[in-house]
């Protein structure tokens, strides 16, 4: 209970901790959180089962770090898109590009995304981390738009709503894909409607 988790400072140790996180990433993506056990993670990372508890409080703790790795891998590229906006903001282009970008990202990371997102509902920490991430994205993107000369009283609300809708579309596009719907047409509708609130 009163055990302390090592905070590795030596290079070799940092390496080992990262190897465990990456092993968790791969395994959670492939088999899901509940079907991956700590022994598998240790083996995949090439370390002993015991040492895992030298770097992580428990299995869930690994999950949290895997989540951070995921965030870095997946969301950072999206932020970059918005950081180069020029005034005046071309919403037609920006929204269309963002949708494609998010869809691509979803597709490339579908496995780990599914594994992690499924825990949102049962795991407070995971949920908080995802929420925090959303906050950050909303604020950063809003900031970028302001730097691009866009002004609005409801800026944060607009950005937030737009982001959620785009992600939801990407999510559905990747996982559900109903046959009887035209997704290109849906994308046009999505872009049109978001453009409407921004103009």
Binding site for its own copies (CB under 8 A): 1, 3, 32, 34-35, 39, 114-115, 117-122, 127, 131, 134-135, 138, 154, 156-158, 160-161, 164-165, 168-169, 172, 175-176, 178, 180-182, 185-186, 189-190, 192-194, 196-197
Overall size of the chain counted in residues: 199
Rounded CA gap, 121 and 33, in Å? 13
Rounded CA gap, 42 and 86, in Å? 47
- Class of residue 106 by CB neighbours under 10 A (exposed 0-12, middle 13-18, buried 19+): buried
- Indicate which of its own copies, DNA, none lies near residue 66 (CB less than 5 to 8 Å, by partner kind): none
Residues sharing a CB contact under 8 Å with residue 116, sequence separation 6 or more, in sequence order: 28, 33, 63, 66, 67, 70, 126
Q: Does 125 bind DNA (CB under 7 A)?
A: no
**Cα 120 versus chain centre, distance:** 12
Query: Which residue, 31 or 134, has its beta carbon nearer to DNA?
Result: 31
Q: Does 76 bind DNA (CB under 7 A)?
A: no
Among the listed ranges 52-60, 96-104, 155-163, 183-191, the one in contact with DNA (CB under 7 A) is: 52-60
From candidates 49, 68, 72, 131, binder to DNA by CB under 7 A: 49
Which residues are at the interface with DNA (CB under 7 A)?
A: 1, 3, 6, 8-10, 12-13, 16, 35-39, 47-55, 58-60
């Amino acid at each position: 209970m009163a055990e302390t988790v090592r905070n590795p400072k030596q290079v070799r140790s940092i390496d080992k901790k990262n190897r465990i996180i990456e092993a968790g990433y791969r395994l959670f993506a492939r088999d899901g959180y509940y079907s991956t056990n700590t022994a598998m993670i240790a083996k995949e990372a090439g370390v002993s089962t015991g040492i895992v508890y030298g770097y992580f409080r428990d299995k869930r703790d690994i999950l949290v770090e895997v989540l951070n790795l995921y965030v870095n891998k997946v969301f950072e590229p999206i932020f970059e898109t918005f950081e180069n906006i020029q005034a005046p903001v071309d919403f037609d282009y920006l929204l269309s590009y963002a949708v494609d970008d998010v869809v691509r990202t979803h597709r490339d990371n579908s496995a780990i995304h599914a594994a992690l997102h499924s825990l949102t509902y049962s795991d407070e920490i995971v949920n908080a981390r995802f929420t925090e991430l959303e906050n950050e994205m909303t604020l950063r993107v809003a900031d970028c738009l302001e730097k691009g000369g866009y002004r609005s009283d409801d800026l944060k609300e607009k950005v937030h709503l737009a982001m959620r809708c785009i992600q939801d579309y990407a999510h559905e596009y990747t996982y559900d894909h109903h046959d009887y719907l035209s997704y290109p047409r849906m994308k046009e509708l999505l872009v049109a409607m978001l453009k409407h609130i921004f103009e």
